[in-house]
Amino acid sequence: MRILIVGGTGMIGGHAADFLAAQGNSVTIAARRPPPPMVPMAKYPVLLGDYTQGTFSESDLASFDAVLFAAGNDIRHLPKGMDEQEFWSRTQIEGVPQFVSLARRAGVRRVVQLGSYYHQVMPHLIGESAYVRARHLADEGARALATPDFNVSTLNPPSIVGVMPGVPAKRYETLTAWAKGRLPEIPDYAPIGGTNYMSVRSLCEAIWGALRFAESGRAYLIGDVNLSFRDFFQMIFDAAGGSRHLQERDQEHPLLPDAFIIPGRGRVLAYEPDPTETALLGYTRGDLRRAVNEIVTLFGET
């Protein structure tokens, strides 16, 4: 299968490129800039463009059998001082369906969009969060373009855990440094609340399953394990060695600010993915600890 990965220079897109290539597919990555030569994605052909600016053309996409759209922006990417509604419209509400429409006109047969879990698990957030509303509308708008000859599906994953050598991962680098004792100014606690977590490897397995077996027009809620923020941070501490044990406090945390906890501090966003859908997509559960160990191994000596 000839697959184009939009957002292929990011952590998720890079892992997906390697995973899909390992299954025998021909992979090209689409990005605004070429990947740096030291990252694994540099070995793939690159299609330069910016979907938010409409710079891709039908001829750019015409040679591909499938597209993985892994470029959706989240709350961390909102530039300071930028109009929020304009940003979400360009990157999500209008930008994603417009690109999917372009793929359909180009003759692409399958599109898998990577969305987010909030609007499927907590639909009330659609009316409370501009970001969740944007994700919801991007999801709905993309899948509305499905036809019998154009398979469109969305994977809505939780918090994805993983790293790619050479790709910045400041959050995990800082968490590892804290767990290793290099940031003594941060007390040993986590904010109350929790969410679902999933390794990037499991996500890649789900992507490959969706590219082959997803029902057109369907949104799949995927995930792995529900953890409190305290238990997730503790997993990083345990992987780093030592015997420190974290407390749980109703207090904002410098490494997990309240602005990044979409449901609100103290809320638990927990769910179990549908077992039939999990089997259809063919992804592994129980892979989180391995992913955390990989992160700590990468950043533990830096």
Distance CA 113, CA 72 (A): 9
pLDDT in tens, the chain (302 residues): 999 999 999 999 999 999 999 999 999 999 999 999 989 999 999 999 999 999 999 999 999 999 999 997 776 766 776 778 888 898 999 999 999 999 999 999 999 999 999 999 999 999 999 999 999 999 999 999 999 899 999 999 999 999 998 888 999 999 999 999 999 999 999 999 999 999 999 999 999 999 999 999 999 999 999 999 999 999 999 999 989 999 999 999 999 999 999 999 999 999 999 999 999 999 999 999 999 999 999 998 75
- Buried b / exposed e along 188-208 (16+ C-beta atoms within 10 A): eebbbbbbbbbbbbbbbbbbb
CATH class of 2-161+196-224: alpha beta
* pLDDT, tens digit, 9 for 90 and up, residues 118-165: 999 999 999 999 999 999 999 999 999 999 899 999 999 999 999 998
Phi and psi angles of residue 117, each rounded to the nearest 5 degrees, phi first: -85, -15
Overall size of the chain counted in residues: 302
The residue type at 297: T
Contact assessment for residue 188 and residue 242, using Cβ atoms and an 8 Å cutoff:
no
Q: Residues spanned by CATH 3.40.50.720 within the chain?
A: 2-161+196-224
pTM of the entire predicted model: 0.96
Quick check: helix, strand or coil at residue 77? helix
**Beta strands per DSSP E along the chain:** 2-6, 26-31, 46-48, 66-69, 110-114, 151-156, 159-161, 189-191, 194-199, 219-221, 225-228, 247-249
Query: Is there a contact between 237 and 179 (Cβ–Cβ < 8 Å)?
Result: yes
- The per-residue pLDDT for range 57-81, each reduced to its tens digit, is 999 999 999 999 999 777 676 677 6
